[in-house]
């Protein structure tokens, strides 16, 4: 009995003294391939700087990066004619003497083809320009020529002379799909700040679309269906693009509305929609000017007090039809000399130039509604647009 107890006691003592060897847990994963070779894979660490840098990128920065290389600064030199006073000692009096001086102005534009076609405003580069120099974002200067301009639409098309490389360019977006409230990015050369080689960028939203501005009878330009934005547009931004978040052009920055409060930006900027821009520049590239692709077959003039008194007409705003071609669309739809056109489509006619601008929205083969007044009664005529034909 004593022997058995002694054996059990010695067994417990041996178990208590035994210390098993503990194997360390591997911190890496061993991958064994078919060739029985092994390699250790570790998880890469992303630095905080890289993470922050990536978080700063968004749709706007991507759009700016995409469109910036195609933005140009435009410097135009014009010869301005004026009059000065010169004293003639023989007659002992002052006479007005014609004088000429060179005037420099700056604006913005953007390249639309790799061979150097540039879109800008007509009031930036017009037919009176003596020299036109464009500056790219890399600081390179090129001389440019005017292919054509249209005062009515306030658009001009330039071409870089002898470009020595393929140039970066931007694409147009469909302005009909523009949504109120979406991002709008204005790019250009405000106040001539382009000297450092980079265009200025301002960001806002599309505030409204299809804004019409009735022109002064003495003002030839007509602005229809304009895009309104609160992206800051200032002097020198004229002719630059209004870009969407895809980096595509939805309009051409043209003017601001101050409401008589100041001469600076107050949150109301306007751009010519890309759909109209593309129609105009296509004709400018082909022929250097813009014309209707149909003949309305009538002539008209703006209503004046003299016409009202002379022909005892109603005192209303509109266009007085002076003649109608018997082989033209106007005659076929019933328009006669003496009628007063008050609407073209849904738009009231503000002036003769405004009427031509409205008719530019139509193409040959389409139907144009004309609202007119005859002997105090209002009528609506539907004109099928086509070119005039020879006498029958």
The residues that are catalytic are 123, 154, 238
Which run of H or of E encompasses 56? helix 48-56
Cβ atoms 306, 138 nearer than 8 A: no
Please count the other Cβ atoms lying within 10 Å of the Cβ belonging to residue 131: 13
Give the span between the Cα atoms of 382 and 392, in whole angstroms.
22
Q: What is the CA radius of gyration of the chain?
A: 36
DSSP annotation of 222 reads: -
Q: Which residues pair with 306 in a beta bridge?
A: none
Cβ atoms 110, 240 nearer than 8 A: yes
Alpha-carbon distance values, 73 to 67, 76, 145, 200 (Å): 14, 10, 14, 11
Give the span between the Cα atoms of 2 and 8, in whole angstroms.
10
Please count the other Cβ atoms lying within 10 Å of the Cβ belonging to residue 107: 26
Among 152, 167, 63, which Cα is nearest to 109's?
A: 167
Cβ atoms 316, 305 nearer than 8 A: no
Give the span between the Cα atoms of 25 and 33, in whole angstroms.
21
Sequence-separated (6 or more) residues with CB below 8 Å from residue 113: 167, 169
Please count the other Cβ atoms lying within 10 Å of the Cβ belonging to residue 365: 10
Sequence-separated (6 or more) residues with CB below 8 Å from residue 378: 342, 371, 372
Please count the other Cβ atoms lying within 10 Å of the Cβ belonging to residue 348: 15
Please give the span between the terminal C-alpha atoms of the chain, in angstroms, as a whole number. 145
């Amino acid at each position: 009995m004593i022997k058995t107890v002694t054996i059990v006691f010695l067994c417990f003592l041996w178990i208590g003294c035994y210390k098993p060897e503990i194997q360390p847990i591997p911190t890496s994963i061993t991958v064994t391939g078919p060739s029985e070779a092994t390699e250790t894979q570790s998880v890469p660490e992303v630095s905080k700087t890289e993470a922050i840098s990536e978080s700063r990128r968004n749709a706007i920065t991507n759009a700016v990066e995409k469109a910036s290389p195609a933005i140009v600064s435009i410097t135009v030199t014009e010869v301005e004619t004026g009059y000065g006073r010169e004293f003639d000692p023989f007659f002992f009096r002052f006479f007005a003497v014609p004088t000429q001086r060179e005037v420099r102005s700056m604006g913005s534009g953007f390249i639309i083809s790799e061979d150097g076609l540039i879109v800008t405003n007509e009031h930036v580069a017009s037919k009176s320009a003596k020299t036109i120099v464009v500056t790219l974002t890399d600081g390179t200067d090129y001389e440019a020529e005017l292919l054509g301009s249209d005062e009515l639409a306030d658009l001009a098309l330039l071409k870089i002379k002898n470009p020595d490389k393929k140039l970066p360019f931007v694409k147009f977006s469909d302005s009909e799909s523009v949504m109120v409230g979406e991002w709008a990015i204005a790019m250009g050369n405000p106040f001539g700040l382009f000297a450092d080689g980079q265009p200025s960028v301002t960001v806002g939203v599309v505030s409204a679309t299809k804004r019409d501005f009735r022109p002064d009878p003495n003002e030839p330009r007509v602005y229809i269906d304009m895009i309104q934005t609160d992206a800051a547009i200032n002097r020198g931004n004229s002719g630059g693009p209004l870009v969407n978040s895809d980096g595509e052009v939805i309009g051409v920055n043209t003017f601001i509305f101050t409401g008589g409060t100041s001469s600076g930006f107050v949150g109301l900027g306007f751009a010519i929609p890309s759909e109209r821009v593309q129609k105009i520049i296509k004709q400018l590239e082909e022929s250097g000017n813009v014309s209707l692709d149909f003949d309305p077959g009538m002539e008209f003039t703006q209503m004046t007090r003299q016409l009202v008194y002379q022909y005892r007409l109603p005192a209303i705003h509109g266009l007085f039809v002076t003649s109608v071609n018997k082989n033209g669309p106007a005659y076929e739809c019933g328009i006669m000399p003496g009628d007063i056109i008050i609407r073209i489509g849904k738009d009231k006619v503000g002036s003769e130039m405004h009427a031509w601008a409205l008719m530019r929205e139509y193409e040959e083969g389409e139907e144009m509604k004309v609202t007119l007044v005859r002997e105090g009664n209002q009528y609506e005529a539907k004109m099928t647009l086509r070119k005039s034909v020879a006498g029958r």
